[in-house]
Amino acid sequence: MTSELRAPTPAHVISPEEVPGKLVAPGAEPVVRATAIEKFFADNHVLRGCSMTVYPGETITILGRSGSGKSTFLRCLNFLEEPSAGRVDIDGVAVEASPLEKRDRAAAERVRQIRLRAGMVFQEFNLFPHLSVLGNLIAAPLHVKGMSRAEAVELAEANLVRVGLAEKRDEYPNRLSGGQRQRVAIARVLTMEPKVLLFDEPTSALDPSLVGEVLKVMEDLAHEGRTMIVVTHEMAFAREAADRVYFMEAGHWVEVGPPERVVDDPREAQTRAFLARFLSERRPVPTRPDEDATPMIDPSLHPHG
C-alpha cells in the first residue's frame, strides 16, 4: 500500500538559527513553513530533509554551489517540482508531498492556491513572447483572478512604474534587454500580489552590465518589507538585503544565520571553502552596488535592443 511507503508527517522544529530576523514583529505567524523536504531524481537524493521558516517581511538568501539543490528546494516550495516527502505551508495553505499518486481535485486546488501566494521569478525570465509587456502582466489577473480589464491594467501599470519600465508597456519581450525582461518578469509577479516572492537565480542569465538594474529592483522590494526567498550567487545582495542566509551543500543546510555571520564569519568548513572558492573564481565581492555606478541602460544603446 502506498500509505505505508509514505514518510510519516514530520513535526516542524525551528532550529536555533531559524529565529526570526530582527525586524519581525514578535509573535508574528510565519508566511512560509517548509517542513523536511526530501527530493529524489530517480535514485539521486537531491534534498535531504530541508526545512525553512520565513516570517513576514523577511528576505532570505539561499547560497550554495551549482548542483547543491538550492534551486530544487525553491521549486519544491511552489510544486513546480514535486517533493518526494515533506510539507509546504504558505500563508495558511498546506500541501503534503504526493510523489506516488496524482492529487485529488481539492489538493490540486491547494497547490494552485500556494502558487497564487508564492510568485516566482525565473533565471530565464520566461516572459510570454506572444504577448506585449502589458499582456504579460495582465494575463493571469484576467484569466486566473477574473479581474476586470481596467482594474488589471491599472495594477499592471503601477507595477511597471515601480520597476522603471512604464514606457515599455506596449513593447514585445524580444525587443527588451535581458535586464528589462527580468524587471518585467518581476512586475508580472507583483501584479498577482503574492505573499512571498521566490527568485531562482534571477541575475544568472544576464550580461554582467545588466545585473545592477535587476538587483536594484530586488533590493527596493526587500527594503519595503516584501517577503522574499532568493537563490543567488550575488554575494553583495546576500550581504546587503538578506535578513538571513541559508547555505546549502549536498542537499542540506550547512549553515543558517544572518549574513554578517554566515557570509562574513562562517563557522562551518564547507561554508568557508565555498566562499573562498567563490571569491577566487568570481569577481571580488563588491560592496553595496553604488546606484550611480550602475546606471539604467539606455535601451537604444543596448546591443540586443
Partner 1 sequence: MSVPAGSTMADPGTEALGALIQRVDQRRNTSWRIKFLAMWLAIVIGLVAFVALTVKLDADFINGWAPFILAGVPVTLFIAAVSITLAIVLAAIGALGRLSGNPFFNGIASFYVSFFRGTPLLLQILFLFLALPQAGIVLDPLPTAIIALGFNYGAYMTEIFRAGIEAVPHGQVEAAQSLGMNGRTTFQRIVLPQAFRIVTPAIGNDFVAMLKDSSLAYVVGVQELLWRAQAAGRPTFQSMQTMLVAALVYWIMTILFSFIQNRLERRMASGDRATRRR
Q: Cβ of residue 128: shortest distance to partner 1, in angstroms? A: 6
Is the separation of the CB atoms in 83 and 39 below 8 Å? yes
Alpha helices in the chain (DSSP H): 2-5, 70-77, 105-117, 133-143, 149-162, 178-190, 208-223, 235-241, 259-262, 269-281
125 vs 246, beta carbon nearer partner 1: 125
Q: Cβ of residue 122: shortest distance to partner 1, in angstroms? A: 6
β-bridge pairing 85-90 and 32-41:
antiparallel
Q: Cβ of residue 47: shortest distance to partner 1, in angstroms? A: 18
- Applying CB under 8 A, the residues found at the interface with partner 1 are 78, 80, 112, 115-116, 118-120, 122, 124, 126-130, 139-140, 143-145, 172, 174-175, 188-189, 192
Q: Cβ of residue 240: shortest distance to partner 1, in angstroms? A: 26
Query: What separation in angstroms does the CA of 198 have from each of 62, 231, 289?
Result: 11, 8, 22
Residue written as grid cell 527588451: 176
18 vs 200, beta carbon nearer partner 1: 200
41 vs 128, beta carbon nearer partner 1: 128
Pick the closest to residue 90 from 175, 13, 197, 3 (CA basis): 197
126 vs 270, beta carbon nearer partner 1: 126
User: Would you tell me how many other CB atoms lie within 10 Å of the CB of residue 238?
Assistant: 24
57 vs 194, beta carbon nearer partner 1: 194
**Segment holding 255, helix H or strand E:** strand 252-257
Q: Cβ of residue 106: shortest distance to partner 1, in angstroms? A: 14
Q: CA 213, CA 221: separation in Å to the nearest integer? A: 13
Q: Cβ of residue 12: shortest distance to partner 1, in angstroms? A: 24
7 vs 111, beta carbon nearer partner 1: 111
Rg (CA), the chain: 19
119 vs 257, beta carbon nearer partner 1: 119
Q: CA 253, CA 248: separation in Å to the nearest integer? A: 5
Residue written as grid cell 496524482: 102
User: Would you tell me how many other CB atoms lie within 10 Å of the CB of residue 153?
Assistant: 17
Q: Cβ of residue 22: shortest distance to partner 1, in angstroms? A: 30
